[in-house]
Chains A and B, each alone.
Chain A
Amino acid sequence: MAGTLLEVDGLTKRFGGFTALHRVSLSVRAGERFGLIGPNGSGKTTLINCVSGALAADGGRILFEGRDITTLAAHRRTRLGIVRSFQIPKPFTSMTVRENLGIPLEYAAHARSQAGDADAEAAEILRTIGLEAKAHLRPAELTQIEMRKLELARAMAARPTLLISDEAMAGLSSVEVDDILALLFRLNEQGITIVMIEHIMRAVMRFSERVVVLDAGERIAEGTPAEIVRNPAVEKAYLGE
């Protein structure tokens, strides 16, 4: 299919006897803002772990830019351009904010293209994200929202084609949510495809062009945000009968 960036085809993942994902298929188009929602335990994060390479799938295929990446190591996927942020920020605690960005710049971005000026690139990313004043602080000295921003800044430093944002806004105030949303919109305008996993419906419905809903490891709906809110199956999954 032309314009497809990421294709997940019949993905299955089991943990012992528990099937976390059952033949889930979805495709994300290049440049798209894609929302992935579902109740707690529906398999969203498992799906992301399979796509980013943290978990090995038990069945099905994952294609990125037409290439089968199902068995590729996670760091190789990052170098191809699939970059994720973590639900709970996982900064490199012994490094400054600036040094945190240095790792993906060196290992992902510059591993792909020829080396650039890491200092200038890091400074530019920090400016975009509004952390330039904190460049020399350690993560422990940051506030909750700054930590989320660092998580996003570090993901940006890997120069993603596809950015997977795993609950980047959980626990933030509504002003802060708007702040992060604006940032993600801006990244999307720069041509980065974004998959957003989010519990805050207001945010994900405003942001996404297309939404896929997971429930108990299966895909139950797909459509525009307007279609999703009217979908009876989605309502049932969230609220019960």
Chain B
Amino acid sequence: MMARPARALLVGLAVVGAGIVVAALRVNQYVYFAGYVVLQYVVIATAWNILGGYAGYVNFGTPAFFALGAYTAVFLIQSTRAPLPVLILAGGLVSALLGLGIGYLTLRLRGVFFSIATLALSIVLQTMIINWEYVGGSRGLSVIRPSGPPFGSYVTFLFTVMVLLSVVAVTVARFIERSWIGRGLAALRDNEEAAECMGVPTLRLKLFATTVSGFLLGVAGAPFPYYVTFVEPNSAFNLDYAVNALAMPMIGGTTSWVGPVIGAVLLGTAQQLATVTISSEMNLFIVGVVLVAFVVLAPEGILGLVRRLRGR
């Protein structure tokens, strides 16, 4: 019997390995193109869930964190043409700082008021970017991809990068969930006052959750400029990110790291299929219908549904 962390590491490596194999197969380019988006949502949903699912603070400002990661990358591409790993790390760190700031909001704002504040944050940030010419302002900016990617096309390369980032995000979420941090977050989600009175350092844990969540959302956004090659505020701050980041964990189940992964894969794939087969406008419609169905019929998501069926 192998130790649990070792087994988790092995599974993670296997997923990355499988990603590289898929990349090496050089199937239809569209597969990588769509796969990237689905994987990006695995990272986003997982990151969102660390704050929204574990700690119970619903963040409507996902676009702010995602776009901050993307625009940090744009800034660095413009100024220094920094390599991709640097962009990802920097995007994550800048968004982590924003997360830390949001964390202090939780001192005064709880429940729906916190959510409204995060939504407002997204709008404020978008306005700032619109007025910043260096990163393209409202017109947007074309980004030229570096030449000579390791795997044929650059999109294929970005696909494998996203596989790796997904594994990292899920590993982080799983670690938090199973550690004392996750148990403390669950306690404060259930009742913040009681948690504090039982010795849980609620503020410190909330700051940790908002920072890590912000970091991973920024990480998800950092490769975005190279993926789309044309960055403009409306796509980077798209409301889709806010809705999907919330809907995917809700559909999968918010109490476990598996939930956001299931939700992102199912919903993300459905959206990609609908985009090709029906129309790109169907995206949010699907999310809306599925979300309403789940909130009414299975409020604890697919995981809760499975648990209920097993219980019988």
Residues of A within 8 A of B (CB): 52-54, 73-75, 78-79, 83-84, 86, 90-95, 102-104, 106-109, 111, 154, 157-158
Contact = CB atoms under 8 A, between A and B. Distances in A.
A104 B190 contact: no
Contact of A91 (B194, B197, B203): B194
B211 to A, nearest CB: 19
B202 A106 contact: no
Contact of B194 (A92, A94, A157): A92
A83 B183 contact: no
Interface string B115-143: 00000000000000000000000000000
Contacts of A108: 198-199
B193 A92 contact: no
A103 B193 contact: no
Contact of A94 (B184, B190, B197, B201): B190
B190 A95 contact: yes
Interface in B183-212: 183-184, 186-187, 189-191, 193-203
Q: Which of A54, A94, A103, A106 has the largest count of B CB atoms less than 10 A from its CB?
A: A103
Given A94-B255, A103-B184, A107-B184, A78 B199 contact: yes
B285 interface: no
Contacts of B183: 102-103, 106
Contacts of A75: 196-202
Contacts of B202: 75
Number of chain B interface residues as a range: 20 to 34
B199 A94 contact: no
User: Which A-B residue pairs are the 10 nearest by beta carbons?
Assistant: A108-B199, A107-B199, A90-B194, A92-B190, A104-B198, A78-B199, A90-B191, A74-B196, A103-B187, A107-B200
A54 B186 contact: no
A75 B195 CA distance: 8
Q: Is the interface of B mostly helix, strand, loop or mixed?
A: helix
A94 B186 contact: yes
Contact of B197 (A83, A93, A102): A83
A95 B190 CA distance: 9
Nearest to A85: B197
Q: Which of A53, A54, A75, A154 has the largest count of B CB atoms less than 10 A from its CB?
A: A75
B191 A92 contact: yes
Nearest to B192: A90
Nearest to B194: A90
A23 B268 CA distance: 61
A154 to B, nearest CB: 7
B199 A92 contact: no
14 contacts: A73-B196, A73-B201, A75-B198, A83-B197, A86-B193, A86-B194, A91-B191, A92-B195, A93-B191, A103-B187, A104-B199, A106-B180, A107-B184, A157-B198
Interface in B163-186: 180, 183-184, 186
Contacts of B199: 75, 78-79, 103-104, 107-109, 111, 158
B198 A52 contact: no
Q: Which of B183, B184, B197, B202 has the largest count of A CB atoms less than 10 A from its CB?
A: B197
Given A94-B255, A102-B183, A107 B198 contact: yes
Contacts of A158: 198-199
Given A102-B183, A103-B184, A107-B184, A54 B197 contact: yes
A54 B196 CA distance: 8
B193 A90 contact: yes
A91 B194 CA distance: 7
Contacts of B189: 94
A78 B198 contact: yes
Given A52-B197, A106-B183, A107-B200, 20 more contacts: A53-B196, A78-B197, A79-B199, A91-B194, A92-B190, A92-B191, A93-B190, A94-B186, A95-B187, A102-B183, A103-B183, A103-B187, A106-B180, A107-B184, A107-B198, A107-B199, A107-B201, A108-B198, A108-B199, A154-B198
Nearest to A154: B198
A157 B200 CA distance: 13
Contacts of B198: 75, 78, 83, 103-104, 107-108, 154, 157-158
A78 B199 CA distance: 5
Contacts of B187: 92, 95, 103
Contacts of B194: 86, 90-92
